[in-house]
Chains A and B, each alone.
Chain A
Amino acid sequence: MKKIVFFLFTGISIYSFSQNDVTPTVVSGNIQTIGQYYQEDTLINAALPDQLLGFNGFANVNVQRGNFRTGIRYETYLNTLEGYPTSFNGTGFGYRYLNWSDEDLELTIGNFYDQLGSGMILRAYEERQLGIDNALDGIRLKYNPYKGIFIKGMIGKQRYRFEDGLVNGNGIVRAIDGEININEMFDSLSNSNFKATLGGSFVSKFNEDNNTPLFNLPKNVGATSIRANLRYNKWRFNAEYVHKINDPYPDNQNELFNYIYKNGEGLLFNLGYSKKGFAIDLSAKHMDNMLWRSTNVSVGPTDLLIGFLPALTKQHTYNLAATLYPYATNPRGEISYQADLLYKIPKKTFLGGKYGTSIALNFATSYTPKREFINDLGTARQSYSTNLFSMSDSILYQDFNIEIKRKINKKWKFNVNYFNFIFEDRAVLVAQHHELIHAQIAVLDLTYNINRKHSLRWEFQGLWTKTTTELMTTSQGESVYRKEDQGDWAFAQLEYTFSPHWYVAVLDQYNYGNSEPSKRIHYGLISAGYINGSHRFSLQYGKQRAGVFCVGGVCRAVPASNGLTFSFTSSF
């Protein structure tokens, strides 16, 4: 690793000397650190790790001079924060690259991130909060041979673990992608109301660490995709089709899907119309057996993934809606639909008020595809058949939600939300009781501006689950009908901000409606922060309940914790 860093820096210094001295060297980067001091809390099941302290730190430095750009990232996990993947350990360099680009050619060596189309067959990305990083380590070339035509090709290994430095997986990923923007290509179409971009990709992987006594698995697996983005005036239509050759992979949770021998397939549509004050958007997705990795050995759920399977649901941010029953794509397959309607009631009308009122409606639903299993469990090779958009009656998820936002006057602003969820936890296993959960959530979010710089914000949330027909005996000897999962929750938060530098907030989450009285626990938390330009410091103390943390439809279970958290971020 030291050699590599030395190489990058000498490379750019030699280049620097050969350049005219007026060429400036542009520097940018950032730093992020989080430290947590843990306390034991048996009531909420927060474990006390031996090291007492968890600490994650990251620092990026990018240097650009003329057509050259180089960068490194230093990472520190001493020890890894609780709930973060334990495959990240120690301190060292986790990312380095050297890049050269001019008007129509770009070459990258070392680590890089990339996405082809919507990323279903290849997405190398970083989601630091979740501990996902599957950066490719290799070579990438992008070329723009003619206006409107974009070609790229890449080869590399994927980041797998971090052990005092970057550790790549054994598999090799190879990809090519082409895209044509019709309107950029033909001058006569440059001002047309009709716009079209067409693209296609081919990705293949090679890995050998996969042979079991029972199976002789393919060493090379390929996947293809085609996509189109079309627009006409205020209408927009996107479609993408992906296909993957059979790639049996161990499934430890469901014997029916273990080393399944079947091609993967996916189809994603999006149709939208939007104008000032109004938008409607419809999406549909059929996805089956599209999960693939650069290994066929069983690894962690987010390790060595080549593709990214987007969830067709809205990402919620209010605490109870976001962290108890959040939806992540079902990797085995799903058929999903989503509809969105946005409307802004104009200002200075009876319903719209002085400043206008925004309304957002969202409906999303996902079902398991209808599968005809071809072989029984007695034979070694298992498969099934599916048809595009043919779904079974097994629901995975349903979400209906509405948001109304209004500024009343210069002082007051409110935001009310209602959510109605159906969540099949037998498919994801993140709740306390693995069952079909029905939950309703209401949120009131109020902002009061005391004056130009000071403001107060209140958040009140409630979550109610359905009562089952199952009788249970509580620890107090009472016989009651059990509520689904953990029952009802209440949440309240008060935040005081003093622009532009300070904030302080207190919040409490209370599981008041748990069917078991001894589990009716308060989770109190206090936090404060100081912001100065790009520097941001924050401190937080209290209890955090176990929950699910999601970004982009990928989720990670976070254990309960109690203690003090310090974080600092900055950029330059």
Chain B
Amino acid sequence: MKKFISLLILLTFGILIFGQLPSVNIKDMEGNSLNFSKISNNGKPMIISFWATWCKPCKAELNTIAEEYEDWVNETGVKLIAVSIDDARSSSRVEPYVNAQGWEYLVLMDPNSDLRRAMGVNNVPHTFLVNGEGKIVWDHNNYSPGDEEELYEKLIGL
């Protein structure tokens, strides 16, 4: 699929790259706006995880990572960005949940799925690993117990 589309678009535009963060304006939980393409972690890797308060596997994944997050940060300097796709009905549940669980992540709000569309996310959970140059090097559209191990291996392999 990727090859076919590359070919098609290559014929029209020349140099092509995949896996770049899109330029979409988005807010954090406090309402501060930022441009997603300008997000960086000073040359260190980032994990971007799309989730929602009504998505059990998403919460299982982020809670599992939370147990080991401190170690991951110390070892690799990684920063996790949790993008909530909760809409107007459930977006007020995001902050209470995040704080009650004690997540140390940067949480962004995507209530009308603008960033979700721009990143090609079909359904949640969908987790991306971004290297120090801001390029997506791995992604996974699911969560089963143990998937965090694969993410960790990819992360320390960077």
Contact = CB atoms under 8 A, between A and B. Distances in A.
A531 B93 contact: no
B147 interface: yes
Interface string A344-367: 100000000001001000000000
Nearest to B2: A572
A571 B141 CA distance: 9
A29 interface: yes
B15 A343 contact: no
B141 A101 contact: no
A277 B23 CA distance: 34
B39 interface: no
A476 B150 CA distance: 57
B102 A276 contact: yes
B145 A125 contact: no
Contact of B122 (A30, A449, A499): A30
Contacts of B133: none
B89 A281 contact: no
Interface stretch (A60-68, A289-297, A386-394): A60-68
Interface stretch (A35-43, A45-53, A306-314, A541-549): A306-314
Contacts, number: 226
B111 interface: yes
A119 to B, nearest CB: 5
B149 interface: yes
Instruction: Kindly state the interface size class of chain B when it binds its partner.
Output: 35 or more
Interface in A163-184: 181, 183-184
Instruction: Kindly state the interface size class of chain A when it binds its partner.
Output: 35 or more
Contacts of A62: 22, 117-118, 120
B141 A454 contact: no
A510 interface: no
Contacts of B121: 30, 571
A340 interface: yes
A511 B16 CA distance: 55
Contacts of B157: none
B119 A279 contact: no
A27 B54 contact: no
Contact of A452 (B5, B9, B54, B149): B149
Contacts of A455: 144-146
12 contacts: A21-B14, A25-B16, A28-B22, A62-B22, A62-B120, A123-B112, A234-B99, A274-B98, A276-B100, A277-B102, A278-B99, A281-B92
Interface of A: 9, 12-13, 16, 21-22, 24-32, 60-65, 69, 101, 106, 113-115, 118-120, 123, 125-126, 150, 181, 183-184, 195, 197, 229, 231, 234, 236, 238, 270, 272, 274-281, 283, 308, 310-312, 314-317, 340, 342-344, 355, 358, 447, 449, 452-455, 497-500, 503, 529, 531, 533-536, 552-553, 569-572
Given A314-B93, A342-B100, A572-B2, 19 more contacts: A27-B17, A28-B19, A30-B121, A63-B13, A115-B111, A126-B113, A184-B32, A195-B31, A234-B99, A277-B102, A279-B96, A279-B97, A279-B100, A314-B90, A447-B145, A499-B147, A499-B150, A500-B142, A535-B141
The 10 closest A-B pairs by CB, nearest first: A499-B146, A279-B96, A571-B120, A497-B144, A342-B100, A274-B99, A30-B120, A310-B89, A118-B88, A315-B54
Interface of B: 1-2, 5-6, 9, 12-20, 22-23, 25, 30-33, 53-56, 67, 87-90, 92-93, 95-102, 111-114, 117-123, 126, 138-142, 144-147, 149-150
